[in-house]
Amino acid sequence: MKRLLIIAGMLILSLSVISCDKLEKIKDKLSQKNTKQANPFSVNSGDETRDIIAFNNKVVKMDDAHSDFIKNFQNSLEQMDAYVKNVAANPQFSGIPPIFTPVVMMWANQEIKAPDVLGKEYQTSVDKMKETASQLQTLKKELEAYKDAEDWKDDKGKKVTEISEKASKLIQENRKAADELFAKLAPRAEKAETEALKDHPLKKQILQSRETMEFAQKIIDDSYDVKDLDAYKQKFAQQYVQMEKLYKRNMDESIPSSEKQKESSYTAFNNSVNDFLGKMRIVQRSLNENNQEVNRDLDDLEREAGYILDRYNYFVD
């Protein structure tokens, strides 16, 4: 599951649109002011709400980067394992070795410090995530070197098995650290967001859209935990009805004239929800017909859920 960025745009200075000269002037002013005043350039700015939101958004980006890398690495391991087994079973096998898609974890080496308001245990989780992600990067490089040197011809795939076992352990540690971090952080971040939204003119639209976005993520999460197909079909049908209600509720809520600059991003978000509903109908038909394409249809649904998340973040930024 992808975590969500919360409304940093209302609280955090957007440095990307400030000229270098302007930036230096801001820094000069901040250095001349009382240290108790908010400093947007500091992890501990003096504004606890801002600090929690800023930290949340950084670790969300880091977690997304880790998740994407892990999925890519697992695919590479599966492809390499299948290739080596084919070669071992058939020495005349003429297939080419898999081509690994490179994924750069932009946030793997990014310095992320937990603000004092949260405490040291948050930093411990961040450090564990970064440490395991770094080790996974090293393992992927080993796998790439193994493939390029064609070493499977000597060890018959032993190295692939070793790397897979090490990777599995590190992935478990990384995901456990992430789950522990967000379990602690989520209520703090939500409280900070509520405080930030207190007097916001789009409070209702943002909270409703967030509920819709999170429900889309839950639908995807549930698709990975199917133990009884008939029960899942019934649950999925209920989820469709609920998602349709959330969509209609959002459509009934217009953007006030004072916030017209947000109308296009709000419309884009709602359009993505409508597209998601369309993909849900496709999945529902595949489930009812016991269609073998249901896994592909669920992959398409997951992709649409990603678009909902992206457009939600764009709307609230």
The rounded percent of the chain whose pLDDT value lies above 90 is: 51
**What 3-state DSSP class applies to 175?**
helix
Expressed in angstroms, the distance from the first to the final Cα of the chain is 20
**Residues sharing a CB contact under 8 Å with residue 5, sequence separation 6 or more, in sequence order:** 56, 57, 60, 61, 313, 316, 317
**Residues sharing a CB contact under 8 Å with residue 18, sequence separation 6 or more, in sequence order:** 26
Evaluated on CA atoms 34, 40, 41, 43, the torsion sign reads positive
In this prediction, residues 278-301 reach a mean pLDDT of 92
**What 3-state DSSP class applies to 13?**
coil
In this prediction, residues 6-31 reach a mean pLDDT of 39
> Residue 6 gets which letter from DSSP?
-
Q: Give me the pLDDT at residue 5, please.
A: 54
CA angle 72, 170, 140 (to 5 degrees): 40
Give Cα 155 distance to the centre of its chain.
Answer: 37
Choice between 19 and 243, residue whose per-residue pLDDT is larger: 243
Q: Give me the pLDDT at residue 96, please.
A: 80
Cβ atoms of residues 40 and 9 within 8 Å: no
Q: Give me the pLDDT at residue 316, please.
A: 82
- Residue ranges per structural domain of the chain: 1-198, 200-317
How far apart (Å, rounded) are the C-alpha atoms in residues 218 and 264? Answer: 26
**Model confidence over 44-58: pLDDT tens digits?**
667 888 899 889 988
Question: Is pLDDT of 10 > 80?
Answer: no
**What string of DSSP letters covers 99-154?**
PPPP---TTSS------TTT-HHHHHHHHHHHHHHHHHHHHHHHHHHHHHTTTHHH
Q: What is the third-level CATH fold of 200-317?
A: Four Helix Bundle (Hemerythrin (Met), subunit A) (1.20.120)
**Model confidence over 194-216: pLDDT tens digits?**
888 888 899 899 989 989 998 99
**What 3-state DSSP class applies to 216?**
helix
Buried b (16+ CB within 10 A) or exposed e, 215-253: bbbebbeebeeeeeeeebeeebeebbeebeebbeebeee
Q: Give me the pLDDT at residue 40, please.
A: 55
**Residues sharing a CB contact under 8 Å with residue 284, sequence separation 6 or more, in sequence order:** 236, 237, 240
Q: Give me the pLDDT at residue 170, please.
A: 97
- pTM comes to 0.71
**What 3-state DSSP class applies to 27?**
helix
How far apart (Å, rounded) are the C-alpha atoms in residues 230 and 235? Answer: 9
